[in-house]
Chains A and B, each alone.
Chain A
Amino acid sequence: MTIPTLTSKDAHFDYVLRLGDDALILAQRLGEWCGHAPALETDLSLANIALDLIGQATMFLGYAGELEGKGNDADKLAFHRDVNQFRNCLLVEQPNGDFGRTIARQYIFSTWQYLLYQQLARSTDPRLAEIAAKALKETTYHAELAAEWVVRLGDGTAESHERVKDGFEWCWRFVDELFSVQPLDPSIVTSGVAVDTATLRAAFDSALATTFAEATLPLPKFPRPVLGGRKGHHSEHLGHLLSDMQFLPRAYPDAVW
């Protein structure tokens, strides 16, 4: 058996898949809150974020399908891949937990995604630049909303302070993956298609320090990172999420919906 050589085309596809899968899997998680959030207003906010993310996922996965060149559209990629073919980060597949954990996850992800899209909007790949520029407006709002809630919960009551702190405790081990795992082929970074996420870390840490000061939360000592999402080595949670999400297209493969 020969190991196929990796080309920058594969890395490009894989990169766009990561962007699409992050958005898709987090949208799926946020959708679980619909009808069950702490108040109608929060229900609507979480659904808004989920809707934006479904839109982003549709654009990224549609483009990924074109790059792959096997005739797969966004739906085919979303509903007909198995766990080890998903390229999302581990953070987004984490179960919702309580509202504190959901907000912690959202804060980390949206703050990172905001910094990422700012850079990606200047990608030398005009398709990625266009999607990121459009999505940046949405993500700016997500990051602000999440930061407001981190402050509200951190500063609110003793219980909310503990709960949001616990929520972050759950998530810290997944932060490193966002910054340290680079595209499969470094050439797509040097050519300006992809963003070197390591360069976003300082801005992320600084945003975190500002929000946490206002929220009266202690800054974390980051634990040993857990990695693997970008190469398809996921948590046990993702398989269950997919079996739910993919049920209909898998059960009725000939049907069009």
Chain B
Amino acid sequence: MYTTEMSKNPARPAAPSEAPELVAAFEARVANDEFIEPKDWMPEAYRKTLVRQISQHAHSEVVGMLPEGNWISRAPSLRRKAVLLAKVQDEGGHGLYLYSAAETLGTSRDQMIEALHTGKAKYSTIFNYPTLTWADIGAIGWLVDGAAIMNQVPLQRTSYGPYARAMVRVCKEESFHQRQGFEITMKLAAGTPEQKAMAQDALNRWWWPSIMMFGPPDDNSPNTAQSVRWRIKRETNDELRQKFVDVTVPQAEAIGLTVPDPDLKWNEERGHYDYGAIDWDEFWAVVKGEGPVAKERVKARIDAWEKGAWVREAALAHAAKQASRRQKEAANG
């Protein structure tokens, strides 16, 4: 769902123990737009940055199941219920491919999950906001998945092969989600006065968190330069944010909703919308885990994991028993 690097600690340059010719060959391959594959040599900092970014992305998919899952039981029609459930299921599927992509870098899914639960690993700040009405389900699809697509389309050409390939599949599904979300919002905006007010209220609450999803501005984004050079990232946070604003504002206008930014106006000279100042204090507070429902989100993940421990243990124990039975049979046969 989302991939912006949020750690404030910049990745270190090549470790002194890394042979300069290996580093140079690696940099040349990346500069030449070749894919790096799991068995290829790579600098340790590249590996670490990727594990952090991919696992953060995987966690975002899985935590992202919670705010939308909150409305599965209350979806207002059978069709909406099926579409929402399928969507949340897709997010879980994205989590699975992304954990698998990260595992090719030598970190296990259990280790990554442990890092999420202890607060060491981050996930997208956007999921620390609550879904209060049905219109929030529209807004998440339209804005949050819309923002995610802006981030993810370039990642289909990211330098790490397994990540790039996972993103191809993820992007197809996300663009479908974005259209579904917009369709929910459009229907509300054209509905009863209460429905239209619900849609406007959702846009008011989700707009700023959505444009914060692209991460800190370029002049305060410590990892951007290195990540762009390594083709882990292909466009800067501000470039992507601008693209999102330019695409989304006319969509809001088309369905009669107002973007909650008094400073928003079309700049003829730049050929882009100018938008108002973003509250970065809010952003960093939410990154630190101070978002309105951050505690609920992490607790829900920890509860699911802990309550499910006996099931995972049972599956392993049964598989081991079966394997030993097969061995015995083979020995006796």
Which of B81, B316, B317: most chain A Cβ within 10 A?
B81
Cβ–Cβ contact A38 & B304, under 8 A:
yes
> CB of A202 within 8 A of chain B?
no
Number of residues on chain A facing chain B (CB within 8 A):
50
> CB of B150 within 8 A of chain A?
no
Cβ–Cβ contact B304 & A47, under 8 A:
no
Q: Of A48, A99, A257, which is within 8 A of B134 by CB?
A: A257
CB-CB under 8 A for A47 and B77, given A35-B69, A39-B311: no
CB-CB under 8 A for A47 and B311, given A156-B317, A255-B191, A255-B192: no
Which chain B residue shows the least CB distance to A254?
B192
CA distance A78 to B74 in the complex (A): 12
Which chain B residue shows the least CB distance to A253?
B192
- Provide the residues of chain B in CB contact with A249, threshold 8 Å: 76-77
Q: A51-B85, A248-B74, A257-B80 provided; 9 other pairs, C-beta below 8 A?
A: A35-B66, A36-B300, A36-B304, A38-B312, A40-B95, A155-B317, A159-B313, A247-B74, A257-B134
Cβ–Cβ contact B72 & A38, under 8 A:
no
CB-CB under 8 A for A31 and B85, given A99-B308, A256-B191: yes
> CB of A44 within 8 A of chain B?
yes
Q: Report whether over half of chain A's contact residues are helix, strand or loop; otherwise say mixed.
A: helix
In the complex, identify which listed stretch (B36-44, B86-94, B210-218, B235-243) lies at the interface while the others stay far away: B86-94
- How many chain B residues sit at the interface, stated as a range, is 35 or more
CA distance A199 to B89 in the complex (A): 37
Which chain A residue shows the least CB distance to B187?
A257
> CB of B78 within 8 A of chain A?
yes
Task: Name A's B-contacting residues (CB within 8 A).
Answer: 24, 27-28, 31-32, 34-44, 47-48, 50-51, 54-55, 57-58, 61, 74-75, 78-79, 98-99, 151-153, 155-157, 159-160, 163, 244-245, 247-249, 252, 254-257
CA distance A159 to B69 in the complex (A): 29
Q: Of A37, A51, A255, which is within 8 A of B304 by CB?
A: A37
| CB of B68, distance to nearest CB on chain A (Å) | 8
**5 sampled A-B residue pairs with Cβ under 8 A:** A34-B65, A34-B72, A54-B85, A248-B74, A252-B195
> CB of B169 within 8 A of chain A?
no
